[in-house]
């Protein structure tokens, strides 16, 4: 059974993200935590008093109602839903919950155009610090089986294909095909991946259709955006932010915020546990 942390702010966007994620996970039973962060105090002069206990209880009731509604639906009846609240902001709530329990996925929704409302400073920190696979789902994402998954990476960064196990399962469950996208600088001389590296990846993904695409662009982020624009069938983007060559492309640079603003498909950031604590700290400095 998969353990899923669903971050809820009771918006249509967050509920849409839950349904999207549970849909592409298929018939895998999930133990879902519905998490809501409630403010410690209201920042308004028009509220004469603020009872945090009352707000917390009301939040739990609303989460329980949402869980019952999802459970009653035919597509989600084999999942379990448990409410949980935490005082503070969304980032601290997610960090606390994922620090207390081990989850397979953290799911967050994004409202508005693209992913920019969630992928601001809060989500950038979450992407850097999360020790769990993270899925960010924009409100525009269509709930349907996946068709084309794009993995933005390079062969040099792949220490072990095991990091892609969640994507292999998603592709197999949805009968989707995969593209490994490598962005090179114009004129950059890069040795082609060794036959051993290619064989290892293809053997790992098994019967899942897999192709490798090389594109040229001065910016990795712009290269990704251009590829997605030229391939409208792509309906999921996957990255491994802790791989050094992709840290700048996904986290914190101005060009990254530009691409993030235009992405209208879900983004998965995979956590690679094979990196050492030293490497992790060094990358955190690099992308700060």
Give burial (CB, 10 Å; 0-12/13-18/19+) of 265: buried
> Taking the domains of the chain in order of start, what are their residue ranges?
2-138, 148-286
> What are the structure tokens assigned to 141, written together?
């994402």
Pairwise CA distance, residues 72 & 137, whole Å: 23
Pairwise CA distance, residues 64 & 70, whole Å: 10
* pTM of the predicted protein model: 0.84
Question: Right CATH number for 148-286 from 3.40.50.12780, 3.40.50.620, 3.40.190.10, 3.90.1150.10?
Answer: 3.40.50.620
Torsion of CA 217, 233, 261, 271, to 10 degrees: -80
Domain 2-138: which CATH class? Answer: alpha beta
Task: Write down the residue that tokens 């939040």 correspond to.
Answer: 59
What is the reported pLDDT for 244? Answer: 46
Pairwise CA distance, residues 163 & 160, whole Å: 6
**Phi, psi values for residue 170, rounded to 5°:** -60, -45
pLDDT digits (tens, 9 = 90+) for 255-264: 344 444 556 7
Task: Judge if 2-138 and 148-286 fold alike in CATH terms.
Answer: yes
Nearest to 228 by CA among 115, 101, 79: 115
pLDDT tens digit at each of 288 positions of the chain: 899 999 998 989 899 999 999 999 988 899 999 999 988 765 554 555 557 788 899 999 999 999 999 998 878 888 999 999 999 888 889 999 999 999 999 998 876 544 444 444 455 566 666 788 999 888 889 999 999 999 988 777 777 889 999 999 999 999 999 999 988 888 877 666 677 777 888 899 999 999 989 889 888 888 888 999 899 999 999 988 754 444 444 444 533 444 445 567 899 989 887 764 445 444 444 443
pLDDT digits (tens, 9 = 90+) for 174-208: 999 999 998 888 887 766 667 777 788 889 999 99
Contact assessment for residue 251 and residue 124, using Cβ atoms and an 8 Å cutoff: yes
Pairwise CA distance, residues 64 & 69, whole Å: 9
């Amino acid at each position: 059974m998969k353990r899923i942390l669903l971050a809820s702010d009771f918006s249509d966007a967050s509920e849409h993200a839950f349904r999207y994620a549970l849909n592409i996970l298929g018939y895998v039973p999930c133990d879902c935590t519905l998490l809501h962060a409630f403010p410690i105090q209201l920042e308004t002069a028009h509220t004469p008093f603020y009872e945090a206990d009352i707000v917390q209880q009301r939040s739990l009731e609303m989460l329980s109602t949402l869980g019952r509604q999802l459970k009653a639906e035919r597509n989600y009846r084999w999942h379990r839903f448990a409410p949980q609240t935490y005082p503070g902001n969304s980032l601290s709530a997610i960090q606390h919950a994922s620090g207390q329990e081990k989850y397979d996925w953290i799911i967050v929704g994004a409202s508005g155009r693209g992913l920019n409302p969630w992928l601001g400073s809060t989500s950038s920190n979450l992407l850097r610090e999360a020790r769990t696979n993270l899925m960010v789902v924009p409100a525009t994402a269509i709930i349907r089986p996946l068709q084309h998954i794009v993995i933005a990476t390079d062969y040099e960064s792949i220490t072990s294909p095991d990091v892609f196990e969640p994507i292999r399962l998603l592709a197999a469950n949805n009968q989707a095909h995969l593209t490994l996208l490598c962005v090179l600088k114009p004129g950059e001389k890069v040795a082609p991946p060794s036959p051993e590296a290619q064989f290892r990846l293809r053997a790992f993904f098994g019967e899942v259709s897999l192709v490798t695409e090389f594109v040229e662009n001065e910016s990795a982020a712009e290269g990704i955006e251009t590829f997605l624009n030229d391939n409208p069938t792509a309906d999921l983007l996957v990255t491994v932010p802790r791989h050094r060559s992709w840290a700048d492309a996904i986290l914190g640079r101005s060009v990254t915020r530009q691409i993030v603003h235009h992405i209208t498909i879900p983004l998965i950031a995979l956590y690679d546990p094979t990196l050492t604590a030293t490497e992790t700290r060094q990358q955190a400095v690099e992308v700060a």
